[in-house]
Chain A
Amino acid sequence: MTIKPRHRRFAWVAAGLVALGIAAALVLNALGSNMSWFITPTEVAEGKAPAERNFRIGGLVEPGSLQRADDRVGGTFRVTDGNNAILVSYTGILPDLFKEGRGVVAQGRLTGNGGFDATEVLAKHDENYMPPEAAEALERAGHPVNAGAQAKQQ
């Protein structure tokens, strides 16, 4: 049996659409389960943080709050946006630019007792520059970092 060109083209288009549909489903599913929202310490205090999902918090490492564990690497510290703070615990080596009083972003989820269990701690960029999410948290809480430090990046 010979297939008409028109039918063949239809088959190609249909196969393409099915493939695209599968790809789209795959993409949207993966996107839905792997994106994390950024939430400020104040929003966490207001109970706006999801209980069962990973999310990111950002702000400044509260001066004097870092307590290193003595049996493992890592420890606990408080992340503040100037109005509210949240206790973060992390097991692992803290990044080079992690310092008290400096900007930080942490990815993880809430623990039962209102603390935050971080799986990843970021303090990237250079000395003068604040991680954008940390800057955003301070800004939303009404304590913007000075604009000069922001403009100087790159």
Chain B
Amino acid sequence: MIIEIGHFALTIALVLGLLLGILPMVGAHRRDVRLMAVAQPAAVAQFGAITIAFAALIAGFVGNDFSVLLIANHSNTDLPLDLRVAASWGSHEGSMLLWSLMLSAWTCAVAAFSRSLSTVLRARVLGVLGLISVGFLLFLLFTSNPFERLLPAAAQGRDLNPLLQDPGMVFHPPLLYMGYVGLSVAFAFAVAGLIGGGFDAAWARWARPWTTVAWAFLTLGIALGSFWAYYELGWGGWWFWDPVENASFMPWLVATALIHSLAVAEKRGAFRSWTVLLAILGFSLSLMGTFLVRSGVLTSVHAFATDPARGVFILAFLVLVIGGSLILFAWRAPTIGAGNSFSAISRESMLLANNILLVVAMAAVMLGTLYPLVLDTLGLGKISVGPPYFDAVFVPVMAPALFLIAVGPLARWKRTELPPLVSRLRWAFAISVISALLAPVAAVAAGVDGPAWRPLTSVGLAFGFWISAGVVVAILDSLRTPGRPFSIAHAASRARMQPPSVWGMHLAHLGVAAFVFGVTLVNSYEIGVEARAEVGDTISLGDYEFRFTGLDHIVGPNYDSDRGHFEVRDSSGALVALLHPEKRVYRASGQPMTEAAIDRSLVRDIYVSMGEPLGGTVWAIRAHVKPFVNWIWIGCLMMAGGGFLAVADKRYRRRVTQREARAVAAARA
């Protein structure tokens, strides 16, 4: 019964989506206030309907209703409650439903927080979001119905894939989808703007906080996915350039470009066409990413053939959204208008460079991700493109962008003289180069082992120090009034005057520095070993000794596990950590899983995982020491935190001033 209510609610949501997608658009065209007024209640009602559908699915999972095909395939009575809830989005159908739920939540939020928008623009933005939801709901109802029944009902479910049985599953997909779907708001603003033809500073100021929030969620989602892979896949990598990861990383790169170009569009009115194009591109990539991952085309291009309806629908929807918006762009772009000019050395030019570099990086990632798929589809053979390709391309393309992070915020809009810029940054430059060269020497002096220093180590460190120093210079500059002696009281009052968005930017940029430090140090100084070990044996790795003290067997709720006991001691013999890695076998599927044990700290992780049993008490054991690896995720947290801080800026909540309203009206006339 509950399942039927869910199914029915989903159908209602489709009808509401059609109302939301058509009536306000027609209303906006005819300037009919009554039709436009449908948008807000329709958005709220649609959110309610999809929430009911989603709740029904969760209720089915919680109540172990194995007469539902999806639940029988992805759950099990032995699965713990939190994972049964999370299992509702652990499949293709469930994740599409989560997508729709997120989309309607964003739509509802736009409806609630857009009072300052003009009625026409709001109706169009909500209308575009409604049309997108129609696409997704049609896809759900006709090709991927989560409420499909299984008759006769199964006695027991097949269990969730053990890889997904982790708290990471509870948070990673919702966060990632918040980001993916959030980009649809920027897209809707762009399309609504193209239809109405009103691109100005106010438009950019409306679109900006939505984009920044979506970007911050996307950052968190990707970082959590990486963190999860690090401890769950059992071999200690944190990024694999896997197509699934790339599918989320490409929209992130474009969204990063977009939040920067929106800054220019808001402050200077420049880059408007480019910004609109980025908004379209960002959402198109997030659509493509969702479908690449969820359609099964990545595991095998032939997966499409097993369900042609899905494949054809997906392609048609992508063509409609991407093609339609690009045609609209080509048609309406001349109305966007050029922005203010700027000289070759200015904040605009540096942000332009940042944008180009990010988009080129995205294109390189896309080539490496899609090229094998294209070759395979055309029957030209199977290839794989390995991580070395992505490293070789991505790092050099991003290096100039990292350099500009320190310079951009110090440059003035419109035109900057080079000499003062150089003189403000020369100390930062000297400090970063010297620190980058000295730090590895200090590491050697402190007795750090490992593959140790390579030229790239110092290059990476130099970028980390350079960005940090640049942020410090920018903050100090903003706290000082030229011609006045520096005083703490004055600096404090200036600090209070700085808007949160500036602090958000600095925090996010420092996050990039932390990320660069983490990546550089873990790549240069990590050490690891894979060895045979018997209970009683000691594996030595760098300064640490791992003693295999025992084995026991534990019985979990839906798995059996062999657990190892390890004592980790440093060179002085002091106990550093007791670690208990596991090798689990999940009962329903018989699938083995490696659960690594990690002792975490800010300066290093000690990582032990159990490979395979080799007879008796002998196991293949993997051990790693990973310096500064946590800085990678701390850096991502800082970036996302910076994004949320920036949105707290009061100016985004201010109503449109009369002057701007008049400008909008003039642009539309």
- Interface, chain A (partner B; CB < 8 A): 5, 8, 11-12, 16, 19-20, 23, 26-27, 29-31, 33-38, 56, 68, 70-73, 92-94, 96-98, 107, 125-127, 129, 132-133, 135-136, 150-151, 153-154
| Contacting residues, chain A, for B40 (C-beta < 8 A) | none
- Segment touching A, from B383-391, B428-436, B516-524: B383-391
Q: Tell me whether B306 and A151 are in contact (CB under 8 A).
A: yes
A127 vs B162: C-alpha distance when bound (angstroms)? 10
B320 at interface by CB-CB < 8 Å: no
Q: Answer whether A26 and B612 are a contact pair too, CB < 8 Å, given A31-B385, A36-B383.
A: no
Q: Is the CB of B611 within 8 A of A153?
A: no
Which residue, A72, A93, A136, has most C-beta atoms of chain B within 10 A? A93
- Taken together as a complex, chains A and B put the C-alpha atoms of A33 and B360 apart, in Å, by 20
Kindly state the separation between the CA atoms of A153 and B372 in the bound complex, as whole angstroms: 20
Chain A residues near B306 (CB-CB < 8 A): 150-151
- Also in contact, A26 and B393, with CB within 8 A (given A126-B591, A127-B591): yes
Contact assessment for B620 and A93 in the assembled complex, using a CB-CB cutoff below 8 Å: yes
State which size class the interface on B falls in: 35 or more
- For the complex of A and B, list the 7 residue pairs with the smallest distance between their C-beta atoms, beginning with the closest: A93-B611, A38-B382, A34-B389, A30-B392, A132-B300, A73-B620, A96-B592
Q: How far is the CA of A68 from the CA of B611 in the complex (A)?
A: 13
Determine, out of B363-371, B461-469, B542-550, the stretch whose residues face the partner at the interface: B363-371
By beta carbon, the residue of chain B nearest A72 is B532
B593-A96 in contact (CB<8A): yes
Chain B proximity of A105: nearest CB distance (Å): 9
Does the CB pair A38–B296 fall under 8 Å? Answer: no
The distance from the CB of A101 to the nearest CB of chain B, in whole angstroms, is: 14
Whether the Cβ atoms of B385 and A35 lie closer than 8 Å is yes
Do A23 and B397 have beta carbons less than 8 Å apart?
Answer: yes
Residues of A within 8 A of B396 (CB): 26
Residue of A23, A68, A129 touching B614 (CB-CB under 8 A)? A68
* Contact (Cβ within 8 A) B386 A31: no
B381: interface (CB < 8 Å): yes
Which residues of chain B have C-beta atoms less than 8 A from A16's C-beta?
356
Q: Which chain B residue shows the least CB distance to A122?
A: B384
CB interface residues, B 310-333, toward A, < 8 Å: none
- CB-CB under 8 A from A136, the residues of chain B are 382
- Using known A-B contacts A72-B532, A125-B299, A132-B300, determine if residue A97 contacts B383 with beta carbons closer than 8 Å: no
Contact B300–A38 (Cβ < 8 Å): no
Q: A97-B592, A127-B591 are in contact. Are A36 and B367 (CB under 8 A)?
A: no
User: Does A93 lie within 8 Å of B530, measured CB to CB?
Assistant: yes
Q: Mark B175-204, 1 if CB is under 8 A from A, else 0.
A: 000000000000000000000000000000
A96 contact set on B, CB distance < 8 A: 234, 591-594, 612
Partner of A133, one of B341, B356, B382, B593: B382
State in angstroms the CA–CA spacing of A8 and B364 once bound together: 28
Report which residue of A5, A35, A96, A126 has the largest number of chain B beta carbons within 10 angstroms of its beta carbon.
Answer: A96
Which of B296, B384, B389 is A30 in contact with, Cβ under 8 Å?
Answer: B389
Is B481 in the interface zone, CB < 8 Å from A? Answer: no
Least distance between B652 CB and chain A CB atoms (Å)? 32
Closest to B622 in A: A93
Closest residue on chain A to residue B306 by CB atoms: A151
- B589/A126 in contact, CB under 8 A: yes
Asked if B91 CB lies within 8 Å of chain A CBs, one says yes
The complex places the Cα of A34 from the Cα of B393 at a distance, in Å, of 11
A73 and B532 in contact (CB under 8 A), knowing A26-B397, A35-B384?
yes
**Given that A26-B397, A27-B367, A132-B300 are contacting pairs, would A127 and B593 also be in contact in the complex, using a CB cutoff of 8 Å?**
no
Q: Which residues of B contact A125 (CB under 8 A)?
A: 299
In angstroms, how far is the closest chain B Cβ from the Cβ of A55? 9
B314 to chain A, nearest CB (A): 14
Which listed residue, A37, A92, A94, A127, touches B382 by the CB 8 Å rule? A37
Interface pair A38/B383, CB less than 8 Å apart: yes
Using CB atoms, name the residue of chain B closest to A5: B341
Instruction: Say how far A2's CB is from chain B's closest CB, in angstroms.
Output: 12
How does the 8 Å CB contact mask read for B290-307 relative to A, with 1 for contact and 0 for none? 000000100110110010
B665 within 8 A of A: no
Residues of A within 8 A of B234 (CB): 96
Whether B367 contacts A20 by the Cβ 8 Å rule is no
Are the CB atoms of A153 and B590 closer together than 8 Å?
no
Contact indicator per residue, chain B 343-374, by CB within 8 Å of chain A (1) or not (0): 01000000000001000100010011001100
The residue from B303, B392, B622 contacting A26, defined by CB atoms under 8 A apart: B392
Provide the residues of chain B in CB contact with A126, threshold 8 Å. Answer: 161, 589, 591
Q: How far is the CB of B546 from chain A (nearest CB, A)?
A: 15
B575: chain A residues at CB < 8 Å are none
Q: Chain A: which residue is nearest B610 at the CB level?
A: A93
B612 touches A19 (CB 8 A): no
Residues of chain A contacted by B302 (CB below 8 angstroms): 132, 150
Please name 4 further chain A to chain B contacts, defined as beta carbons within 8 Å, in addition to the given A35-B389, A93-B612, A94-B620, sorted by A numbering: A8-B344, A37-B381, A56-B384, A150-B306
**Set of chain B residues within 8 Å of A33, measured between Cβ atoms:** 388
